[in-house]
Amino acid sequence: MSRIVVVSNRVSSVATGTPAAGGLAVAVVDALQGDRGLWVGWNGEVRNTERACEVEESHCGAMSTLAWPLSSQSYAGFYRGFANEVVWPVFHGRTDRMRFRTEHFSAYLHVNQMFASHLAEHVQPDDVIWVHDYHFMHLASYCRDLGLNNQIGFFLHIPFPEPENLKAIPVHNSIVKALFKYDLIGFQTEKDQHALQSYIQTDRSEHTAFGQDPVAHQSPKMGVYPIGIDCNQTLSQVQNSQKSSLSEESVGQCGETKTIISVDRLDYTKGLLERLESYDQFLSSNSDWQGRVSLMQISPISRSDVLGYEEIRREVERLVARVNGTWGTPGWVPVNYMNRSFERAALLGLLRASHVGLVTSLCDGMNLVAKEYVMVQEASDPGVLVLSEFAGAANELDVGAILINPYDTVATAQAIHRALTMPLDERKERYSAMLDVLRQNDLLAWKNNFLYDLYACGAQVIHE
């Protein structure tokens, strides 16, 4: 029987059972519960050398996992260098943050090639390979070189950049050519798919090197598969959190206080600075809310050794201190700022107990926190989602969220006020419209739609 073989950068959080504070890890764990298959990736360790014998095998439900360490050279070039100092910023529209170095790209290729070799050893001919995210854009290409003829699909969890941004990466041709070796490329939104298609069109019409390459004329199948959440599991997890008193203790310390919650990795794409400025603006223009509202900002530290992340952390800390210093009183802390990871049930409990969910991403593939916030609300008294129009989730949750442009701090402050004062009937109406969407486009739909298309598209293709 054919298995699903999943490739993603990290598998360690599953194997060790530590809570994952990243969308991909959370989604992949939830999506594959109960599936028979294999999950391969980096175990999160960095060693001096890379040896094939260091592959660790373990089990996660019905899935087996295979994970291995990276050498310090691969970690620096592949992970920190090309993946997170080139692809991540450029794909999120931040070409100004790109630091391209040829040796980092070589390390990226090396790691993709190494993953392909591991796959070649472990996959069976009828396995279907599902590759996740921007760390592995060249993986199918190396798999084909090694003679793997399996169907291989790629899902991009982050946005795809507009052609003018993509072209800032000196090796953009190589990236797109490599993507063409997949049978199926999946995106979060139409806009992302359109961005790749317009790159291809522009390139063909300009007759550049890539446009003249025959491979460019055999486009792989592409599709839009907005990632969702496992609605029932999320609800049952939040029921567990109600058994603990964490949410009641932490949210709404005294009866009259309302809580705004924001949960995101400490990353410059999430609009943390803009959010804090907006909250500051809100407190400044709504003095009657001073002492009656608090912002719970949960931001696990992420990629602290990647360029720019220490800087954003310092900036966030400075702004939190400024807002608390300006508005705080002996009995009231305006921003409750935490860097820790939470058990899933506890985190969902905090989301449920908060009156407003505030998502201000400047650019975001989807943003699962927005979906989780809506899913766990109490139907009889739901909170309000204030959502950046630049998060992929806005394409679906526009039916009920208050959409904002996070750069417009005055309008965001007004949206916060509107959310805090929204009448119950309107809150219920908005919540129920969003709930319908979440149930329709849930995690199972995402997985099934992608795999259905992957099985369907590659069956008769023989890769030379």
Q: Per rule CB under 6 A, is residue 367 in the interface with ligand ADQ?
A: yes
Among residues 185, 298, 350, 404, which is the contact residue for ligand ADQ, using CB under 6 A?
Answer: 298
Q: Per rule CB under 6 A, is residue 5 in the interface with ligand ADQ?
A: no
Q: Which is nearer to ligand ADQ, 175 or 263 (CB)?
A: 263
- What count of Cα atoms within 13 Å lies in the side-chain half-sphere of residue 25? 21
Spot the catalytic one: 104, 138, 157, 172.
157
- Span of 18-26, 99-107, 249-257, 410-418 interacting with ligand ADQ by CB under 6 A: 18-26
Q: Per rule CB under 6 A, is residue 86 in the interface with ligand ADQ?
A: no
Q: Which is nearer to ligand ADQ, 123 or 370 (CB)?
A: 370
Taken in order 174, 119, 87, 27, the sign of the CA dihedral is positive
Give the residue nearest to ligand ADQ (CB). Answer: 23
Three-state SS at 24:
helix
Any residues with CB less than 8 A from the CB of 245 and at least 6 apart, and which?
Answer: none
Q: Which two tokens stand for residue 289?
A: 């809310």
Tell me how far, at minimum, the Cβ of 275 lies from ligand ADQ, in Å: 14
From residue 221, give the alpha-carbon distance in Å to each of 2, 51, 392, 399. Answer: 21, 36, 21, 30
Q: Which is nearer to ligand ADQ, 23 or 458 (CB)?
A: 23
Q: Which two tokens stand for residue 54?
A: 């260091």
- What count of Cα atoms within 13 Å lies in the side-chain half-sphere of residue 123? 28
Tell me how far, at minimum, the Cβ of 281 lies from ligand ADQ, in Å: 24
Q: Per rule CB under 6 A, is residue 26 in the interface with ligand ADQ?
A: yes
Tell me how far, at minimum, the Cβ of 360 lies from ligand ADQ, in Å: 12
Among residues 5, 7, 11, 21, which is the contact residue for ligand ADQ, using CB under 6 A?
Answer: 21
Q: Which is nearer to ligand ADQ, 324 or 341 (CB)?
A: 341
Q: Which is nearer to ligand ADQ, 200 or 227 (CB)?
A: 227
Instruction: Say whether 118 is catalytic.
Output: no
For residues 10 and 45, is the Cβ–Cβ distance under 8 A?
no
For residues 388 and 260, is the Cβ–Cβ distance under 8 A?
no
Q: Per rule CB under 6 A, is residue 265 in the interface with ligand ADQ?
A: yes
Q: Per rule CB under 6 A, is residue 300 in the interface with ligand ADQ?
A: yes
Tell me how far, at minimum, the Cβ of 26 lies from ligand ADQ, in Å: 4
Question: Which residues from 221-240 bind ligand ADQ, rule CB under 6 A?
Answer: 227
Among residues 10, 23, 141, 416, which is the contact residue for ligand ADQ, using CB under 6 A?
Answer: 23
Tell me how far, at minimum, the Cβ of 435 lies from ligand ADQ, in Å: 18
For residues 425 and 362, is the Cβ–Cβ distance under 8 A?
no
**Cα distance between residue 18 and residue 23, in whole Å:** 14
Contacts 24+ apart (CB under 8 A), 403-407: 404/360, 406/271, 406/274, 406/275, 406/278, 406/360, 406/361, 406/362, 407/274, 407/362
- Span of 263-271, 324-332, 397-405, 434-442 interacting with ligand ADQ by CB under 6 A: 263-271
Among residues 31, 90, 139, 158, which is the contact residue for ligand ADQ, using CB under 6 A?
Answer: 158
At 293, phi and psi to the nearest 5?
-140, 150
Among residues 4, 152, 368, 386, which is the contact residue for ligand ADQ, using CB under 6 A?
Answer: 368
Spot the catalytic one: 192, 364, 442, 453.
364
What string of DSSP letters covers 179-213?
HTTSSEEEESSHHHHHHHHHHHHHHHHTT-HHHHS
For residues 416 and 279, is the Cβ–Cβ distance under 8 A?
yes
From residue 425, give the alpha-carbon distance in Å to each of 97, 161, 180, 403. Answer: 44, 39, 49, 19
Q: Per rule CB under 6 A, is residue 192 in the interface with ligand ADQ?
A: no
Q: Which is nearer to ligand ADQ, 246 or 347 (CB)?
A: 347
Instruction: Say whether 364 is catalytic.
Output: yes
Q: Per rule CB under 6 A, is residue 24 in the interface with ligand ADQ?
A: yes
Q: Per rule CB under 6 A, is residue 93 in the interface with ligand ADQ?
A: no
Q: Per rule CB under 6 A, is residue 347 in the interface with ligand ADQ?
A: yes
Taken in order 245, 249, 250, 253, the sign of the CA dihedral is positive
Q: Which two tokens stand for residue 288?
A: 């009657």
- Span of 74-82, 254-262, 323-331, 358-366 interacting with ligand ADQ by CB under 6 A: 358-366
Q: Per rule CB under 6 A, is residue 383 in the interface with ligand ADQ?
A: no
**Cα distance between residue 346 and residue 90, in whole Å:** 34
**Cα distance between residue 455 and residue 183, in whole Å:** 9
**Cα distance between residue 398 and residue 410, in whole Å:** 20
Tell me how far, at minimum, the Cβ of 341 lies from ligand ADQ, in Å: 4
Q: Which is nearer to ligand ADQ, 187 or 282 (CB)?
A: 187
Q: Is 362 exposed, middle or buried (0-12, 13-18, 19+ CB in 10 A)?
A: buried
Q: Which amino acid is at 371?
A: K
- Span of 4-12, 40-48, 341-349, 404-412 interacting with ligand ADQ by CB under 6 A: 341-349
Positions touching ligand ADQ (CB under 6 A) are 19, 21-24, 26-27, 157-158, 227, 263-265, 298, 300, 341-342, 347, 364-369, 372
Instruction: Enumerate the active-site residues.
Output: 157, 364
